[in-house]
């Protein structure tokens, strides 16, 4: 029941009359898209797609009562979100409800302001897997991470460690990292205080970019919980999304296979509880 259209990678599900427009990586709503603060490069790609799809949607899909679903992963997810906002601003029929045009974004980068993210939540859903680096790759998050690393460096110097050369770093790793040490460089209280100081309320940061729409955040609960997958539905202001998680899986968590596997686990868990 899925028919692919060459070049554009589009598809139609005839049973439920849904038109799918995947994007690849690598009047309130109308006012929101005109005034919102967003990622310029990705918005340029969204405008190009909107120019190529608008007539097809208006002249063929809408007269046949088709719904439009835009989806993407990574940079394609960011493009999907901004494409959805642009089509909603151009086509009045999409502003009548939140079901005829929907966006599913997997691992999107931060591409819109906080206000725009909240405004598109009724029709945009972003999915974030564990410590995936891409949804956290905003300038504000990188600034916070840099401040945190400077704070860690101060703690290391106070203990007599000066890690300013590869040799000193290697020696520290060989001598200290393998030790079991309960004396944390930063206590949980110090970390909480740090993030309280560095995180302003998102509505007071108009120039910062955030993950768009309603956010479904998944995380691995670890070996002690049989590697169950936790999940929460939240928004872009969640603290977990407003800092870079320095993890060994921050890159692999971004891969499609990681999203597919953890979503399958989470849905299986949810199914077993009903």
Question: 38-47, 112-121, 157-166, 177-186: lowest mean pLDDT where?
Answer: 177-186
Of residues 220 and 12, more confidence is placed in 220
Nearest to 156 by CA among 137, 175, 142: 175
Q: What is the pLDDT of residue 95?
A: 93
**Mean pLDDT over residues 145-174, rounded?**
83
How many Å apart are CA 271 and CA 256, to the nearest integer?
22
3-state secondary structure of 202: helix
Predicted TM-score of the model (pTM):
0.81
Number of H helices, E strands in the chain: 8, 8
Q: Give 140's pLDDT tier (boundaries 50, 70, 90).
A: confident
pLDDT tens by residue, 39-94:
888 999 999 999 999 999 999 999 999 999 999 999 999 999 999 999 999 999 99
Which pLDDT tens digit goes with each residue over 79-130?
999 999 999 999 999 999 999 999 999 999 999 999 899 999 999 999 999 9
Q: How far apart are CA 270 and CA 10, in angstroms?
A: 31
For residue range 227-260, what is the model confidence (pLDDT) as tens digits?
Answer: 789 999 999 988 889 889 888 899 999 999 999 9
Higher pLDDT, 56 or 11: 56
Tokens at 269, concatenated = 């868990």
pLDDT category at 26 given cuts 50, 70, 90 is very low
Residue 199 is predicted with a pLDDT of 80
Sign of CA dihedral 200, 250, 265, 11: positive
List b or e across 132-158, with b for residues whose CB sees 16 or more CB atoms inside 10 angstroms. Answer: bbbbbebebbeebbeebeebeeeeeee
Nearest CA among 143, 151, 145, 140 for reference residue 237: 140
Instruction: Name which of 1-10, 77-86, 182-191, 204-213 the model is least confident about.
Output: 1-10
Confidence of residue 196 (pLDDT cuts 50, 70, 90): confident
pLDDT value of residue 4? 33
Helices 75-90 and 28-35, axial angle in degrees (round to 10): 130
Give the 3-state secondary structure of 35-75.
HCCECHHHHHHHHHHHHHHHHHHHHHHHHHCCEEEEEEECH
- Note the pLDDT of residue 87: 95
Cα 22–24–30 angle (5° rounding)? 60
């Amino acid at each position: 029941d899925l028919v692919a259209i060459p070049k554009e990678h589009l598809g139609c599900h005839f049973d439920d009359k849904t038109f799918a427009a995947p994007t690849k990586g690598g009047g309130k709503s109308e006012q929101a898209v005109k005034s919102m603060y967003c990622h310029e490069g990705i918005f340029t790609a969204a405008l190009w797609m909107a120019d190529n799809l608008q007539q097809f949607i208006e002249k063929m899909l809408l007269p046949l009562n088709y719904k439009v679903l835009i989806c993407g992963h990574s940079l394609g997810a960011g493009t999907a979100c901004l494409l959805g906002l642009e089509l909603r601003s151009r086509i009045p029929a999409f502003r009548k409800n939140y079901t005829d045009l929907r966006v599913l974004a997997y691992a999107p980068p931060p591409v819109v302001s906080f206000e725009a993210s909240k405004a598109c939540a009724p029709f945009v859903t972003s999915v974030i897997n564990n410590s995936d680096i891409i949804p956290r790759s905003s300038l504000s998050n990188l600034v916070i991470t840099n401040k945190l690393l400077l704070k860690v460096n101060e703690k290391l110097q106070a203990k007599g460690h000066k890690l300013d050369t590869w040799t000193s770093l290697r020696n520290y790793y060989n001598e200290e990292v393998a030790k079991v040490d309960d004396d944390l460089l930063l206590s949980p209280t110090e970390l909480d205080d740090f993030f309280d100081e560095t995180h302003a309320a998102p509505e007071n940061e108009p120039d910062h970019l955030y993950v768009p729409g309603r956010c479904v955040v998944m995380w691995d609960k670890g070996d002690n919980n049989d590697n169950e997958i936790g999940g929460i539905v939240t928004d872009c202001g969640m603290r977990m999304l407003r800092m870079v998680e320095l993890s060994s899986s921050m890159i692999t968590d971004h891969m499609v296979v990681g999203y597919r596997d953890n979503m399958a686990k989470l849905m299986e868990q949810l199914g077993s509880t009903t």
